[in-house]
Amino acid sequence: MSERFKPPDTEESVACNLIPMIDIMFLLLLFFMLGADMSAKELEDVELPKADMVKEDEDTTVEGGPKRTNVNVFHVHNAKGYTCEVKEGGGVCRDMTHWAIAIRANHFTIETLGPELAELASLDPEESTGGPKGGKPLSRREIMIRGDRNAPYGYIQGVIEQCAAAGLYKIAVSAARPEGS
């Protein structure tokens, strides 16, 4: 055999080191799991009322954060595992202590909701000075009230009144389209 075609004297072992790749995959998995969990906190488990003339929901995000805030009115029984005999029996619960209001997974009562809404209103003030005289300035922030279909209207009305007191006037109430529509 000639020197020109002689095989190399040593063989190099070529192996891919998988440990760093596995570490990166676990970090990515953890990142996506936490990210998915945080985004789900915006909406509580609410059984929306049905309406035939429901308008399709629009994209509510803009550069710099969301332009709409969801206010959820829901039965605490659904979220915290409390038992409500009326709700369990398929009835409509009218016990006001069984209902809660949540914004981004933070729970409020009608009495404690005002300061949170005032803070939200201050994040996105109207550019004009067209607010009511002597009242709070108006806010461009949109509020979507996601009220359970069995929620006492007095609770929903209290949320609307607190929004108005904070200068939030762009208020919508969420509903679901009936099946087959």
| Domain extent listing, the chain | 61-173
- Characterize the bridge pairing of strands 99-103 and 65-66: unpaired
- Characterize the bridge pairing of strands 106-108 and 61-62: unpaired
Give CB contacts under 8 A, 24+ apart, made by 154-157: 154/96, 155/73, 155/96, 155/99, 155/101, 155/110, 156/73
Per-residue pLDDT of the chain (181 residues; tens, 9 = 90+): 556 777 767 767 777 788 888 999 999 998 888 777 555 467 777 888 888 887 777 655 555 555 788 999 988 865 556 678 887 777 888 888 888 899 988 889 888 999 999 999 988 888 765 555 556 688 889 999 999 998 888 889 999 999 999 999 999 998 888 887 6
